[in-house]
Structure formats: structure tokens, C-alpha cells
Amino acid sequence: MSSGGAAAPPPVPSPVPLPAPAPPPAPTLVPRGVPVFRVDAISFRYPGGILALDGVSFEIAPNEAVCLLGSNGCGKSTLLRLLDGLAFPDSGRIEAWGRPLLPATLADEGFSREFRRRVGLVFQDADTQLFSPTVLDEVAFGPLQLGLSHEEVRARCRDVLALLGVERLADREPHALSGGEKKRVAIAAALATDPDVLLLDEPFAGLDPRSQARLVDLLQALRARGKTIVAATHDLSAVEEIAERAIVFSEDHRAVADAPASAIVRDVALLLRANLIHDHPHRHGTLAHAHPHGHSS
């Protein structure tokens, strides 16, 4: 926008929200500049020919928050692993900040280090992620890999453990924690490197109500600090709180809707089709009847 002495020209009508001045960056449905991720017609099969993703395309702009929605086995976790460069599509292409995400590019130490610094993944199953002898070691691992000083590492660990409310678990063994505690430690470990992009696989699963509410607040605060968030979830009640956009996957592994979260969570026909809500008879008081409803994970 011009800020010169002359009168500003009248605003040009736009069908899309224009970016607001920072800070804080405003949510937008259209990519500004280079997208964080450009996913172009990717397909992926596991060994044995098991199809997980079929011709999926979308872009994610910096500072967007996007939910990935779909029933069990539709491909959400697979997609997050591909976005994290842990596996690669059989066909199609993924770019991260304009660079193709390929074994060859990730073999480049400079690109790989930068990519790992900028992207953090929280796995659906915390046991897959946690490997250190203590919670403190787990959270310190990423910052130490970045080559931060011990003082900085200590400060980061203290901050993220407090942020996730797990300070008192610092000396405990990660594998000997409860499911929800593990999840919170896994999120703390991912945040410890201060990534630009947070990939979250079922972040609310296993969390008690207070921890869920705290995580919603935390994700909103991270958005306000300019982070990009991609979260796979079954929890429809949280979608609008943490994302302005949602992508819905069908049971045949295709992206069948990509729209504002507010529209997606109100599209009953789409949610029924994608097996995100279901329609079965049940009782309110003495009155038995049927209407569609969802179940949080």
C-alpha cells in the first residue's frame, strides 16, 4: 500500500481478503508470495500397493492454519509425513518454500538443516516420536541439534515445558508417562526448535478438557506470532478455533473439499459423505430420533 503524501487511490474491490498490516499477520485464504507448501497431484502407496493418497493438490500460505479432516485411513497422517519429508510421493510433486521436497534436495545438508529447523511434526502416536531417556533430554534434543548455547537450550526447555504445563515431568522417562502427558511432551519437543511451520497429527487426541483448551490458546498464540499450522484432527468442535481453512479427504484418499473452516463444519452433507459425522437413532430424554452428529476423538 502507498503511504506517500498524495491521497490514497480508492481500494480495488477484491473477492479475497487482503492481507492486513502486520503485526499480527491476518489470516488469508490465498497464498501471498511463495507458499510454504505447494502440493501438486500427489499420490502415495505403501508397500503392498496400499493406496493412501490419490491425486491430492493444495497450497498452504505462510501464517495459514489449515485442518486436515477425514475418516480413519483416508491419508491424513501419510500426508503430514510427506510434508515433513519423511516419505516421498510416488507421483506428483511437493515444494516447500519453492524448493522440491525430494530425497536429492533433502540430501543437501544446508537445505535439510534449514527445512528441519523450519518445520516441526508432532506424530499421532507420541511413542513414535519420543526416544530420549528423560523429558528434559527429549525437549533439549532439537535445540542442541541447532547448535544453540547451553544457556539458550535451558531457557527454551524451561519455556516450552511451562507452555505445555509439563515442567514437573522434566526428569521423568517419556515412555513411562500417560498418553496425554506424552502428547504434551511431544508438542513441547516440537516447539522447542521454534519452527515456522507446525504439523500436528491429532493434537487433541488423549488430552483432558483443560489441556485441550490450553492447546487451543497456544495454537492461537502461535498463529498471532506468524506461525503456519497444519493439523489433522477428528475433533470438529476445535476446527474453527484453530484454523480458518479445512481440507476434507474422502475414504478413497482424495481431497474432496478445500474451503473456509466455517463452511466445512456446517456442510452436513459433506461431513456425512466423508464419514466425519454419522446419522443414527438415539435418545434425548424419552424421545428417540435420528439426526447427524459428530463424536470428538
Binding site for ligand ATP (CB under 6 A): 46, 50, 52, 70, 72-78, 124
- Asked if 43 interacts with Mg ion (CB under 5 A), we say no
CB of 169 to ligand ATP, least distance (A): 25
Burial of 7 (0-12, 13-18, 19+ CB in 10 A): exposed
**Residue 89 binding target from ligand ATP, Mg ion, none, CB below 5 to 8 Å by type:** none
Nearer to ligand ATP, 9 or 48 (CB): 48
Which residue's CB atom is positioned nearest to Mg ion?
Answer: 77
CB 82 within 8 A of CB 88: yes
Window of 77-85, 161-169, 174-182, 257-265 that interacts with Mg ion by CB under 5 A: 77-85
Window of 1-9, 20-28, 73-81, 205-213 that interacts with Mg ion by CB under 5 A: 73-81
> Any idea what DSSP says for residue 282?
E
Nearer to Mg ion, 25 or 70 (CB): 70
Full DSSP string of 13-70: P-SSPPPPPSSSPPP-SS--SS-SEEEEEEEEEETTTEEEEEEEEEEE-TT-EEEEE-
Nearer to ligand ATP, 44 or 97 (CB): 44
CB of 202 to Mg ion, least distance (A): 6
The total of other beta-carbon atoms located within 10 Å of residue 15's CB is 5
CB of 22 to ligand ATP, least distance (A): 34
- What is d(CA 208, CA 201) in angstroms, rounded to the nearest whole number? 17
- Please report which residue ranges of 164-288 form alpha helices under DSSP H: 179-191, 209-224, 236-242, 261-264, 268-273
**Residue 73 binding target from ligand ATP, Mg ion, none, CB below 5 to 8 Å by type:** ligand ATP
**Residue 72 binding target from Mg ion, ligand ATP, none, CB below 5 to 8 Å by type:** ligand ATP
- What is d(CA 116, CA 137) in angstroms, rounded to the nearest whole number? 18
Sites for Mg ion among residues 126-165 (CB under 5 A):
none
Grid coordinates given for 202:
491429532
CB 236 within 8 A of CB 205: no
CB of 187 to ligand ATP, least distance (A): 17
**Residue 75 binding target from ligand ATP, Mg ion, none, CB below 5 to 8 Å by type:** ligand ATP
Strands 278-284 and 255-260: what pairing? unpaired
**Residue 70 binding target from ligand ATP, Mg ion, none, CB below 5 to 8 Å by type:** ligand ATP
CB of 112 to ligand ATP, least distance (A): 23
Q: Which residues bind Mg ion (CB under 5 A)?
A: 76-77, 124
